[in-house]
Amino acid sequence: MESSDTDTDIITTHKDYYKVLEVDYDATDEKIRLNYRRLALKWHPDKHMGDSNVTSKFQEISEAYKVLIDPAKRIEYDLTGIYEIDKYSLREYLGRFKGMILTCNGLGIDHNTSAWNRQLVRLGSNEYEDKYK
């Protein structure tokens, strides 16, 4: 079965928002904010008048920030985002899942430091903490 052009477009148009903001996959909100501000200043269209590439880069940075700074959107993106795996180095690919794998396998990660627990706390869920304190 041949894939349609729209299927290909859908796959290739997804962005890795972590790479766009130049942050690690377990980056804190503060690190995301700092990198967003740095990149937004660097790529602001007012600094590069008339360059449409700069405008699209700035919009991409803003979109990435809106997703990664919102806890609910970030979790949804982390769980459902399509990543262009072939563009990752092995280190980047493994780093993407390191926290989840170590936490799920119970290899000594303190539950208070797991990325999943931090996300749950941001969303106001205390079920995990109540159960394991």
3-state secondary structure the chain: CCCCHHHHHHHHHCCCHHHHCCCCCCCCHHHHHHHHHHHHHHCCHHHCCCCHHHHHHHHHHHHHHHHHHCHHHHHHHHHHCCCCHHHCCHHHHHHHHHHHHHHHCCCCCCHHHCHHHHHHHHCCCCHHHHHHC
> Quick one: 63 and 103 in the same domain?
no
Q: What is the pLDDT of residue 81?
A: 74
23: domain CATH number?
A: 1.10.287.110
The predicted model scores a pTM of 0.55
Q: Are residues 77 and 19 in the same domain?
A: yes
Verify that 64 and 5 share a domain, yes or no: yes
pLDDT for 88? 62
- Write out the residue range of the structural domain in which residue 121 sits: 88-133
Within this chain, do residues 78 and 93 fall inside the same structural domain, yes or no? no
| pLDDT tens, residue by residue, 42-72 | 999 888 887 888 989 999 999 999 999 988 8
- In 3D space, the residue among 28, 35, 34 whose CA is nearest the CA of residue 113 turns out to be 28
Residue 47 sits in the same domain as residue 19: yes
Question: Could you read off the pLDDT of 66-125 as tens digits, one per residue?
Answer: 999 988 888 888 877 755 555 566 666 666 666 556 555 555 555 555 565 666 566 655
Instruction: Report yes or no: 82 and 11 within 8 Å, Cβ to Cβ.
Output: yes
Domain boundary among 87, 109, 124: 87
What pLDDT is attached to residue 104? 54
The answer to whether residues 74 and 110 belong to one domain is: no
Asked if 1 and 62 sit in the same domain, the reply is: yes
- pLDDT value for 118: 64
Looking at residue 99, its pLDDT comes to: 58
